[in-house]
């Protein structure tokens, strides 16, 4: 209710506001697409695979950034939506559903439904409670799929064929799949950027900045959060659908809490103020992981140290976010 205006004045001095412009988001998407084309052109399948993975996780981070950055809702369970989208494709495939124009809406629907249902509960809590209960619901989904032996249980599920597009088997070529992911990423980024600029975007930011004032203005804060959370669940599930298609495999591990944490790191790394930050954060984190794995077998240690360093630089921003103040 009360503002701590004086403290909200100063952006963190160390970290430049690299994500301050939507153009940067478009730049990242363009680079990912270029990397794919280059990988295909120069016969470097690894570039293509890597760029496709980056695009998938950028999409998931984008979904998280929408609720976390704009709505101030620090969800520690977004990997669940990734997993749900993946299982929508996996289980759909088991039952002969192989058309992407059906699989993607199905995945989005499943993600939206789980977000809306759990949102009815988790969105009644705030702060640390919210973090814990989103984690709990993600773990619940994780254990449900672990015990779902009809669909592979712990071991997961292999997708024997890639889906078709209007009956055509276009995605059997990796470059088409990769560019398909990039195209959807671009579409979703464009859509969500518009939503952020819409009246609803302002409403959502208002619920983050000052809940009491928002309510007093007649804003149904709970409903605004539920809409945002549901939208985010749908987008994250779309990313999950492509994760399944790209890897040809679905497993409960996709829902692991570590993955949820990774998504938060991506969003915070790139800056929460603009959606484009999530795309940058996802790209940087995934390249870091991959690069460090090449140079050292203790890469997780190095990654951890680098992340701690980076996050320390960003801690002011996180604190402001939890207080509901201005972005860093």
Partner 1 sequence: MGEPILRLEALDKSFGALHVTRAVSLDIRPGEVHAIIGPNGAGKTTLINQITGQLTPDAGHVRFKGHDVTGQSVHERARLGLARTFQITSVMPAMTARDNVVLAIVSQSRQGFRLWPDAQLRAQGRAAADEALATVGLGRRAGVIAADLAHGERRALELAMALAQQPALLLLDEPMAGTGKGETERLTELLRGFKRRIPMLLVEHDMGAVFALADRVSVLVEGAIIATGSPAEVAASSAVKTAYLGEDITP
- Establish if 225 lies at the interface with partner 1 (CB under 8 A): no
Among residues 200, 257, 299, 302, the one that binds partner 1 under rule CB under 8 A: 200
Q: Which is nearer to partner 1, 5 or 150 (CB)?
A: 5
Q: Which is nearer to partner 1, 1 or 295 (CB)?
A: 1
Binding to partner 1, residues 153-182 (CB under 8 A): none
- Establish if 64 lies at the interface with partner 1 (CB under 8 A): no
- Establish if 306 lies at the interface with partner 1 (CB under 8 A): no
Q: Which is nearer to partner 1, 173 or 194 (CB)?
A: 194
- Establish if 8 lies at the interface with partner 1 (CB under 8 A): yes
- Quick one: three-class SS letters along the chain? CCCCHHHHCCCCCCCCCCCCCHHHHHHHHHHHHHHHHHHHHCCCHHHHHHHHHHHHHHHHHHHHHHHHHHCCCCCCCCHHHHHHHHHHHHHHHHCCCCEHHHHHHHHHHHHHHHHHHHHHHHCCCCHHHHHHHHHHHHHHHHHHHHCCHHHCHHHCEECCCCCEECCECHHHCHHHHHHHHHHHHHHHHHHHHHHHHCHHHHHHHHHHHCHHHHHHCCCCHHHHHHHHHHHHHHHHHHHHHHHHHHHCEECHHHHCHHHHHHHHHHHHHHCCCCHHHHHHHHHHHHHHHHHHHHHCCCHHHHHHHHHHHHHHHHHHHHHHHHHCCCCC
Where does this chain touch partner 1 (CB under 8 A) — which range of 139-147, 167-175, 208-216, 236-244?
208-216
CB of 321 to partner 1, least distance (A): 11
- Establish if 13 lies at the interface with partner 1 (CB under 8 A): no
Where does this chain touch partner 1 (CB under 8 A) — which range of 33-41, 42-50, 107-115, 218-226?
218-226
Q: Which is nearer to partner 1, 48 or 221 (CB)?
A: 221
Phi, psi of 198 (to 5 degrees): -85, 170
Among residues 161, 217, 287, 319, the one that binds partner 1 under rule CB under 8 A: 217
- Establish if 325 lies at the interface with partner 1 (CB under 8 A): yes
Among residues 221, 237, 282, 317, the one that binds partner 1 under rule CB under 8 A: 221
Contacts of 199 (CB under 8 A, 6+ apart): none
Where does this chain touch partner 1 (CB under 8 A) — which range of 51-59, 76-84, 189-197, 257-265?
189-197
- Establish if 129 lies at the interface with partner 1 (CB under 8 A): no
Q: How many residues bind partner 1 (CB under 8 A)?
A: 34
Binding residues (CB under 8 A) for partner 1: these are 1-3, 5, 8-9, 194-195, 197-200, 202-203, 205-206, 209-210, 212-221, 223-224, 227, 325-327
């Amino acid at each position: 209710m009360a503002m701590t205006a004086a403290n909200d004045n100063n952006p963190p001095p160390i970290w430049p506001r690299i994500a301050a412009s939507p153009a940067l988001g478009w730049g990242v998407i363009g680079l990912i697409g270029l990397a794919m084309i280059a990988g295909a052109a120069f016969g470097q399948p690894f570039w293509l695979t890597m760029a496709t993975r980056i695009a998938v996780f950028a999409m998931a981070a984008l979904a998280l950034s929408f609720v976390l950055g704009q709505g101030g809702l620090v969800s520690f369970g977004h990997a669940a939506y990734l997993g749900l989208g993946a299982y929508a494709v996996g289980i759909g495939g088991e039952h002969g559903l192989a058309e992407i124009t059906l699989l993607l809406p199905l995945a989005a629907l499943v993600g939206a439904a789980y977000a809306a249902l759990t949102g009815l509960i988790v969105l009644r809590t705030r702060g640390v409670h919210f973090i814990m209960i989103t984690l709990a619901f993600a773990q619940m989904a994780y254990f449900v799929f672990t015990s779902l032996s009809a669909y592979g249980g712990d071991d997961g599920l292999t997708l024997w064929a890639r889906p078709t597009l209007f009956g055509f088997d276009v995605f059997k070529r990796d470059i088409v799949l990769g560019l398909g992911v990039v195209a959807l990423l671009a579409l979703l980024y464009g859509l969500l950027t518009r939503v952020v600029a819409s009246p609803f975007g302002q409403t959502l930011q208002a619920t983050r900045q000052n809940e009491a004032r928002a309510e007093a203005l007649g804003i149904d804060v709970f409903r605004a959060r539920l809409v945002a959370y549901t939208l985010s669940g749908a987008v994250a599930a779309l990313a999950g659908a492509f994760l399944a298609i790209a890897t040809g495999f679905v497993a409960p591990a996709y829902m692991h809490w570590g993955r949820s944490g990774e998504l938060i790191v991506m969003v915070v790394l790139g800056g929460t103020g603009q959606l484009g930050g999530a795309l940058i954060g996802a790209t940087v984190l995934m390249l870091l992981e991959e690069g460090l794995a090449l140079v050292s077998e203790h890469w997780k240690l190095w990654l951890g140290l680098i992340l701690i360093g980076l996050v320390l630089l960003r801690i002011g921003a996180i604190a402001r976010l939890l207080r509901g103040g201005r972005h860093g």
